[in-house]
């Protein structure tokens, strides 16, 4: 099985395989998988909202996905919305660093370089890079 599959997908796939009729397998592939994936996605998003490290942008976009509550909205948040919202929060965190008059010239230069960077560059700077300056 797919190691990324959550409990809901695994449960519904197992039911379809246990039933082992062409109809049960087709129903799982056509609708059951999508609905079970949405259930797993909903659980993942609730965890993200509850994470104390999640920032305002992440919580706002996660809440929008839950409010929309379609399989597509839930999946879109996890596939792209989360990354973009995290980048928004990371940009705010870098701006806060720049607003501190007591930071070193090297840290200021590094923060100025990264503030317009990619989501991955922002994340790396906040998790690791700022401590290496």
User: Is 0.85 surpassed by the pTM of this model?
Assistant: no
Query: What ranges do the domains of the chain cover?
Result: 1-50, 54-133
| Separation of alpha carbons 46 and 54, rounded Å | 11
Containing 13, the helix (H) or strand (E) segment is helix 7-19
> Per-residue confidence of the chain (133 residues) as pLDDT tens digits?
555 667 877 887 777 777 777 777 786 777 667 777 888 899 999 999 999 999 999 999 999 999 999 999 999 999 999 999 999 999 999 999 999 999 999 999 999 999 999 999 999 999 998 888 7
| Separation of alpha carbons 32 and 8, rounded Å | 10
| Separation of alpha carbons 133 and 120, rounded Å | 18
**Tokens 């720049």, residue?**
98
């Amino acid at each position: 099985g797919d190691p990324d599959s959550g409990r809901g997908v695994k449960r519904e796939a197992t039911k379809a395989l246990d039933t082992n009729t062409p109809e049960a397998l087709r129903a799982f592939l056509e609708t059951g998988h999508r609905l079970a994936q949405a259930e797993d996605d909903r659980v993942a998003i609730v965890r993200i909202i509850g994470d104390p490290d999640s920032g305002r942008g992440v919580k706002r976009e996660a809440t929008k996905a839950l409010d929309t509550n379609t399989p597509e909205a839930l999946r879109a948040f996890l596939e792209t919305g989360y990354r973009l919202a995290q980048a928004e929060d990371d940009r705010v965190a870098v701006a806060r660093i720049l607003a501190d008059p007591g930071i070193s010239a090297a840290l200021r230069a590094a923060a100025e370089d990264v503030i317009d960077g990619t989501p991955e560059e922002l994340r790396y700077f906040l998790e690791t890079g700022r401590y290496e300056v």
